[in-house]
Structures are given as structure tokens and as C-alpha cells.
Amino acid sequence: MREIQIGGLVSFTTIDYPGKLACVLFLVGCPLRCEYCSNPHLLCPGDGEYDPERVFEWLRSRVGKLDAVVFSGGEALMQSDATIAYMRRVRELGFKIGLHTNGFYPDTLRRAADLIDWIGLDFKATIEKYPDLTGQHIAYDNMIRSLDTWIETGKDFEVRITCDPRFITKSDLMEIVDILHNRHVANIAIQKYIPHFEAEARKTTDAMRNQIFVDTDLRNRINSMFKSVVWRE
Ligand code: SF4
């Protein structure tokens, strides 16, 4: 089995795993090519910059200081067995395991589910717009399978919707939250899109990015549908 490829690390965070002090490992490789990706340097599998054994020794030194280790990316499950094996070792140190995922690998998620305590799952757009945004025709179906797989586990999770105005209108957002509401999802986060790399012809404005967030009626309606709605602005 190939060794895990780690491309980045955040040593301390209070916002990447709800209620836990955590660090984040960014794994290289992602099957999607989202137009707004803020981590393009992590998309292609290759040699990670970080020695996994040195990272593991550092994690050992964090026992008692951190609660959780979050696997992010890229798409952490793209490395499949290497990610699962590393998660198992990290869990044996006593950490909770968190996962940020785009949901592209539902079967791997199912295999890893016993090791993972919490996930943050991206729901990126409506089914019609998923291929345009992600460059992948099967990304939507896979994400829904991952969502249903995780719901079956009964474990905690959050669904994140990043509102890039080029891909999510107000009616798109309502279509997405209806799907989540119908599945009895408890916790969602609606995130303002922050531009990183925008082509000149596809630039967004503050007004475009804010339109969902300044609509009080829309916010109240969505807030009433879920146990918790975090508006990340
Ligand atoms: S899923 Fe995440 S890491 Fe992959 S291309 Fe999209 S934004 Fe970038």
C-alpha cells in the first residue's frame, strides 16, 4: 500500500471540528476541479510535502492538548486505504477523527465510517449545475450516496453549501435545503463564497456574493427548517 501523501497541516483550529480543539491534515489529490477551488496546489496526487511519520510523531506530542484530527484536502478519501490506515493509527492515539469531504467516494466513506466521528460534507450546487461547477458528471450522485451513507451511521455531521453566485441562486439554495430537510438533516452551514482565483470574464461582485446573506426572509425561512444553521459570512 502506498504511503499517505500529506500536502499541508494546520496545527491548531477551533473552527474545523465543531466544539473541538483540532488540527487539520490536508491530503493531496482531488477528483473534482471546482471553478472556485482555493487549494489548487493540492489537486494532483504526488509526493506530499510532509513526511507522514514525522507528522505522526508530532500528533503523538499533541495527545492531551488537542481533541481531534481533521482530514481535509483536496479530497482525503481519494487516497483510500492509505487514508484509512492512517486514520486508524491516529484514532489509536485517542483523537476524535473528523473528515471534510466532497462526497465523491461513498464506498470508501462506508469502509472508513467506524473510524470517523464527524464529517463536514460539501453540497455544492443543484444536480443540473454540479457538472459545470465540478467538472465531473457523477459528482452529484456520489455526493448524495455519501450523504445517505453517513445518515445511516447515525453519527454527527454538517452539510456545507458555499454560495458562489455563479452557481447558486436563491431558488437553487431553496432546492438544496429542501433536499436536506426531507432527509431530516440537523446541521447545515451556508458559507459566503470568497473569491480566490477568478477569471476576468467570470468575476463576481460584493453585491452578487451578498445577495443570499442580506435576504432576511430567506434566512428566517431556512433557519426554521433545521436544528442548526450556521451562516458563515
Ligand atoms: S472539491 Fe475542494 S479541493 Fe477539490 S476541486 Fe473542489 S474545492 Fe478544490
Q: How far is the CA of 30 from the centre of ligand 1 (A)?
A: 6
In whole angstroms, give the CA distance from residue 51 to residue 4: 9
Q: Which has the closest alpha carbon to 233: 224, 220, 219?
A: 219
Half-sphere exposure in the Cβ direction for 12 (13 Å, CA): 4
- Give the per-residue pLDDT at 1: 65
In whole angstroms, give the CA distance from residue 203 to residue 80: 35
**Could you read off the pLDDT of 140-179 as tens digits, one per residue?**
999 999 999 999 999 999 999 999 999 999 999 999 999 9
Cell of 204: 463576481
C-beta 103 within 6 A of ligand 1: no
User: Can the peptide bond before residue 74 be classed as cis, meaning omega within 30 degrees of 0?
Assistant: yes
Q: How far is the CA of 217 from the centre of ligand 1 (A)?
A: 31
Distance, CA of 57 to chain centre? 26
Q: How far is the CA of 43 from the centre of ligand 1 (A)?
A: 7
- Give the per-residue pLDDT at 49: 86
Q: Across 51-207, where does the E strand assignment appear?
A: 68-72, 96-101, 118-122, 156-163, 187-192
What SS3 state is found at 56?
A: helix
Determine contact, residues 11/23, Cβ cutoff 8 Å. yes
CA distance to 89, 186, 216, per residue, from 157 (Å): 22, 8, 26
C-beta 37 within 6 A of ligand 1: yes
Nearest atom in ligand 1 to the alpha carbon of residue 122 is: 1
Q: How far is the CA of 34 from the centre of ligand 1 (A)?
A: 5
Residue with cell 488540527: 23
Q: How would you write the pLDDT of the chain (233 residues) with one tens digit per residue? A: 678 999 999 999 999 999 999 999 999 999 999 998 988 888 887 767 899 999 999 999 999 999 999 999 999 999 999 999 999 999 999 999 999 999 999 999 999 999 999 999 999 999 999 999 999 999 999 999 999 999 999 999 999 999 999 999 999 999 999 999 999 999 999 999 999 878 888 899 999 999 999 999 999 999 999 999 999 99
Nearest atom in ligand 1 to the alpha carbon of residue 36 is: 7
* Rounded percentage of the chain residues whose pLDDT exceeds 70: 99
C-beta 121 within 6 A of ligand 1: no
Full set of structural domains in the chain with CATH:
6-232 (3.20.20.70)
